[in-house]
């Protein structure tokens, strides 16, 4: 019976720690200005398009 109490306590602490991490990430995310978010998204998109274009132009390796 005592083991189950410790397992329950560990579960509660894990939930609290997860909630704290989510709250911290949310606070950090909310500090971005809309223009900054838009700029970062465009940069990520441009990187993804460039990476895909590089993969498409790479010559296939025939051995």
Express each pLDDT in 51-63 by its tens digit.
Answer: 999 888 886 665 5
- In the predicted model, what is the mean pLDDT of the chain? 87
Which pLDDT value is given to residue 59? 60
Tally Cβ neighbours within 10 Å of residue 26.
9
pLDDT(15) > 90? yes
Which pLDDT value is given to residue 38? 94
Side-chain half-sphere of 3: how many Cα atoms within 13 Å? 0
> Percentage of the chain with pLDDT > 90?
51
Q: How confident is the model at residue 24 (pLDDT cuts 50, 70, 90)?
A: confident
């Amino acid at each position: 019976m005592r083991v189950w109490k410790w397992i329950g306590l560990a579960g509660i602490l894990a939930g609290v720690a997860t909630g704290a991490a989510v709250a911290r990430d949310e606070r950090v995310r909310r500090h971005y200005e809309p223009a900054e978010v838009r700029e970062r998204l465009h940069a990520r998109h441009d990187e993804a398009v460039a990476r895909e274009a590089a993969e498409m132009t790479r010559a296939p390796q025939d051995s």
